[in-house]
Amino acid sequence: MSKLSSVRRLAPLGLHVLAGLLCAGLLGQARRAAADPPHPLRPLPPAQIVGLAPLLRSHDMTLLEADASGNMSQITVLSLSSAPPEMLHDVVMGPERYGDFVRNMTLSQVKALPDGSKEHRYQFSYRIATVEGIHRFTSQPPGVGAAAPIEVVDADPTSNGLRHYRWEFFPAGGGTLMVLYGYTDLSRSGGVVEQLRARFPTLDYGMGLVGQMSQVLAIKARAEQLAGAPRPLPPPGNADYRPLLERGVLVLIRTQGGRPTDMNLIERTPVPVAKLVQSAQDVGSWADYVPSVKKSQSLGTKDGLPIVELEQSLPLLTFTTRYAVNAGPTSVDLFGMTGDLSGARLRLDIRPDPIGGQLVLRTSQAFDRASFVIRQLYRLEPLFEYGVNVGLALLVHQGVKLKGAKLAQGGR
């Protein structure tokens, strides 16, 4: 079981709402019937994974998948570590030591089970919220040339299936390409979380990503600390990620100093290129079809470029910015000139694809610079920034795609 056990009302309302929302993704709140099995995860073929190492020298990678109804079905996080596979495996399978290095973990109790698995009872304590749960860790038979995978599921019989993770570890030079598959059921969270999910459906991915990135980065840092001198990794370069686009939206995240600085969201879609371009470039109408944009108003031109004022929305927070808009034949580039997100950058590129088009969104936005509440949120847990950035970028990305699909069907 995982639950949000308390929220202390000692901070601004916006901070409570955002922290509660992101903690829901970190540890879940819904309850399932006792008979429900864990949500099935779909690992990627190893041959598709190992070739990604050169690109992972400069980015972390996330694959966001949806089911036939458009609901989140899986998040996959891929990262490169200079620690060897066996070291990473042992750190994951040692939850009794998590309290020594996992930030904000105030309770970590482990019970060894007869089948060799481990039951881990944990608690995270933030200044305004406490979350707790129980997970069962089971090491699986190893694959060829790789350390043994690890399955992690909820241990409470009344919530079994609420969360499901799978760790995999592949040799990459002297280090490891580590993969964490995951699923968090937020469909029965209730209260304000459910209201926000209804308004911003892609926030499921942002909330789920917080939980998975926090695990990956904590385990990676601990294993590299224990391993000592860094081991050689494959040289940086490009990699063929096209097979992953057949599964969902690919997110490439570049970091600096432990913080995300920019990200690329890439998706294949049957929507024709011309309709995606039309949807992307009509920035003055984004408020009609991008859920996070409450207002989009054209304000003439400056230095030959159109100026559009966008009011972007987070729960109980808004950011108003005037952007210069530069449209190319199959792209549109937005640069924050004045306002809350001055200096922010968004760029949409549309590429031809055999099934229609590829929609690529590049973003660099620092929401904490314009908001005391966001700064306080990131002080509680710096990795919340991943959830905020990905969740809001997805709203733009999906809004543009769905509008393009509507235009392709003859709509307006």
How far, in Å, are 69, 152, 244, 294, 299 from residue 196 at the CA level? 19, 28, 29, 15, 30
Please give the span between the terminal C-alpha atoms of the chain, in angstroms, as a whole number: 46
Q: How far is CA 261 from CA 58, 154, 219, 362, in A?
A: 12, 33, 21, 11
Mean pLDDT, residues 378-388:
83
Q: Which residue has the tokens 């081991």?
A: 231
For residues 250 and 60, is the Cβ–Cβ distance under 8 A?
A: no
Q: What is the pLDDT of residues 95-142, one digit of tens each?
A: 999 999 988 888 899 999 999 999 999 888 766 567 778 899 999 988
- 118, 152, 126, 134: which is closest to 27 by C-alpha? 134
Quick one: pLDDT band at residue 44, thresholds 50, 70, 90? Answer: very high
What is each CA distance from 28 to 21, 22, 193, in whole angstroms? Answer: 10, 9, 11
Q: Determine the pLDDT at residue 198.
A: 66
Question: Worst-scoring range by mean pLDDT, 114-118, 147-151, 235-239, 373-377?
Answer: 373-377
353 versus 257: which is more confidently predicted?
A: 353
**Nearest to residue 220, comparing CAs of 79, 386, 63?**
79
- Give the torsion through C-alpha atoms of 324, 328, 332, 333, to 10 deg: -50
Q: Answer whether residue 231 shows pLDDT above 70.
A: yes
Task: Give the residue from 274, 404, 401, 405 showing the smallest Cα distance to 329.
Answer: 274
Domains along the chain with CATH numbers: 2-247 (3.30.530.20), 268-408 (3.30.530.20)
Give the residue from 378, 82, 17 showing the smallest Cα distance to 227: 82
**Paired tokens of 37:** 């099995």
Q: Which residue has the tokens 């892609």?
A: 202
Identify the pLDDT of residue 17.
Answer: 46
Name residues whose C-beta falls within 8 Å of residue 8's C-beta, 6 or more positions apart in sequence.
127, 128, 129
- What residue spans of 228-284 are helical by DSSP H? 242-245, 273-281
User: Distance between CA 150 and CA 135 in Å, rounded?
Assistant: 12
Q: Assess whether pLDDT exceeds 50 at residue 254.
A: yes
Residue, of 41 and 26, whose pLDDT is higher: 41
Between residues 290 and 141, the one the model is more confident about: 290
More confident residue, 26 or 238: 238
| Residue 240 DSSP symbol | -
Q: Over the stretch 181-217, which tens digit does the pLDDT of each residue have?
A: 999 887 665 555 556 666 666 778 887 888 898 899 9
pLDDT band, residue 151 (cuts 50/70/90):
very high
Q: Evaluate if residue 9 carries a pLDDT over 60.
A: no
